Structure 1
């Protein structure tokens, strides 16, 4: 089984920067909710290296009724894409969120990531929207009471 564990906010920054925002300053990779007590960060570990990340913070969304957590900064190193680290990370997040009695979570998914999230059972809601400097996104929701 792949190792996925809780990591610190500081530990997500290098991969967030390298994969998600390489042309922006490192400070752009620090999100306002990173340090909140209700936020948790997960890391997929391979050979003692963090190769996949995702951060979950308490945040509702009008298009995702009932969803109380948001996934931000989901990324995996190019070296491990397709090895299942992203899936393992989402499965661990689902387990932790269910422990917190969370019934749904959501994310802003890049268009390029839609197939990944759809394979995991998330549903697309609303119209596509542009995040300046990053690209086209959709809101996607994962209803945990269905799983």
Structure 2
């Protein structure tokens, strides 16, 4: 298993198939993708998990964190999130945050993230803002 930086377009098919399978590919393409730093977890040559990081001074947001459905629960997401946290520490980030699906917030809590907002709904899915300080 290896974590590597990847191109934005390498993230799109996993984002779409995992997060919004009923939406077109364009739905998961972000205007800010070109300014982000994108990471993927590879097993041999297969890309299994992706995340996109957007830095703004001492703050960073990660978005579109997704692991192929057949490979969920096998530790790929944990490895990727830990690598993301380490990257933020290297970049002297003070606050790392995300808009998490409510169903996933226990996963983020294991990595020191706390809920910092009320829930809201987008396309029938509940979200909550979570943050971790360094």
- Please report the TM-score for the alignment, with normalisation by the length of structure 2: 0.93
Partner of 1:63: none
SS at match of 1:19: helix
1:68-83 superposed matches below 5 A: 68-83=59-74
Partner of 1:32: 31
Which of 105, 117, 121 in structure 2 is aligned with 1:126? 117
- Please report the TM-score for the alignment, with normalisation by the length of structure 1: 0.85
What's the offset of the Cα at 1:59?
A: 5.1
What's the offset of the Cα at 1:84?
A: 0.9
Question: Deviation string for 1:54-91 (max 9, x for gaps)?
Answer: 1011359xxxxxx6111100010112111111111111
CA RMSD, Structure 1 to Structure 2 (Å): 1.5
CA distance in structure 2 between the aligned counterparts of 1:79 and 1:22, rounded to whole angstroms: 14
Partner of 1:21: 20
What's the offset of the Cα at 1:33?
A: 1.2
Question: What 5-or-longer segments of structure 1 have no aligned partner?
Answer: 61-66
Question: What 5-or-longer segments of structure 2 have no aligned partner?
Answer: none
Structure 1 residue ranges (4+ consecutive) displaced by more than 2 angstroms after TM superposition: none
